Structure 1
Amino acid sequence: MATFGTLLFTWVNGKLVGTDPDGNRYYTERTPSRRRQRRWVIYKGRPEASRVPPEWHAWLHHTAPAPLNAVGRWPWQKPHQPNPTGSAQAYLPPGHDLAGGKRDRATGDYEAWTP
């Protein structure tokens, strides 16, 4: 959820450009006050930057002049997934303490160091 100040600034100065499938709303300034127009996002739910899809990320960082949603998706493109680091869906390699701490025995090319 955005802070009260961000919501007030958006209500006074913001113009809605669009939304993404997650429900995040993207805004730009109604009247640009500088050379580059400000662009920002109001997240639906907890603010998490990795929830911004690549199409909107390019627009937010002035890489694309317009959101890339109108281009369409190629058949090989997968749907956007936020970064799972620190969550229950995070990847844990074999031998990680949280994955049980057991790993396959090393082959003959590994020798433990002993001081």
Structure 2
Amino acid sequence: MDVGVRLFTWLNGRLVGEDAYGNRYYVHKAGRQRDGREMRWVLYKGMAEASKVPPDWHAWLHHFTDALPDAQPITRFGWQKEHMPNLTGTRYAYRPPGHVLQGGKRERATGDYEPWTPA
């Protein structure tokens, strides 16, 4: 992680919460504002990847809500899936049948498709 960000956070940040992934969320302890709104930021655990921020914390970071996700009950519906970071570029990425890293072979196409052949 960038040394400057860590130093800025140590000098100016007040920890307000942490998510299930270990990301830590901060506000400016002196109440400093940017564009008329409270400064908020996140220090990622591990590699900085924006998709690691769960939706409830994303809403707080972007000022959709002022209530901290830790401080309010969040309504979850049966159709909602658990948050998952973007896995593209990792060994856990989805690779469909026929993908080069899955052997490059796939089953023949079925159905009524017939390739055009010149007469």
| TM-score, length basis structure 1 | 0.84
Cα distance change of structure 1 residues 16 and 105 upon mapping to structure 2, 3 Å threshold: same
Alignment partner, residue 12 of structure 2: 13
Q: Could you tell me how far apart the structure 2 residues matched to 1:46 and 1:94 are?
A: 29
Alpha-carbon deviation of 1:33?
Answer: 3.6
Alpha-carbon deviation of 1:114?
Answer: 6.0
Greater mean deviation of Cα atoms: 45-54 or 68-77: 68-77
Alpha-carbon deviation of 1:59?
Answer: 0.7
Q: Tell me, what secondary structure is at the counterpart of 1:17?
A: strand
Alignment partner, residue 52 of structure 2: 51
Alpha-carbon deviation of 1:10?
Answer: 0.9
Alpha-carbon deviation of 1:107?
Answer: 2.2
Alignment partner, residue 107 of structure 1: 110
The one-letter amino acid paired with 1:38 is M
| Alpha carbons 1:58, 1:67 under 8 Å: kept | no
The one-letter amino acid paired with 1:27 is Y
Structure 1: gaps spanning 5 or more residues: none
Greater mean deviation of Cα atoms: 99-108 or 2-11: 99-108
Q: Tell me, what secondary structure is at the counterpart of 1:71?
A: coil
Q: Tell me, what secondary structure is at the counterpart of 2:95?
A: coil
Cα distance change of structure 1 residues 113 and 27 upon mapping to structure 2, 3 Å threshold: farther
| Alpha carbons 1:28, 1:39 under 8 Å: kept | yes
Alignment partner, residue 24 of structure 2: 25
Structure 2: gaps spanning 5 or more residues: none
| Alpha carbons 1:18, 1:27 under 8 Å: kept | yes
C-alpha root-mean-square deviation of aligned residues, in Å? 2.0
Q: Which aligned runs of 4 or more in structure 1 are off by greater than 6 angstroms?
A: none
| Alpha carbons 1:55, 1:68 under 8 Å: kept | yes
In the alignment, which of 101, 116, 119 is matched to residue 98 of structure 1? 101
Q: Could you tell me how far apart the structure 2 residues matched to 1:96 and 1:106 are?
A: 15
Structure with greater proportional helix content: 1
Q: Tell me, what secondary structure is at the counterpart of 1:26?
A: strand
The one-letter amino acid paired with 1:88 is R
Report percent identity of matched pairs: 58
Q: Could you tell me how far apart the structure 2 residues matched to 1:47 and 1:19 are?
A: 15
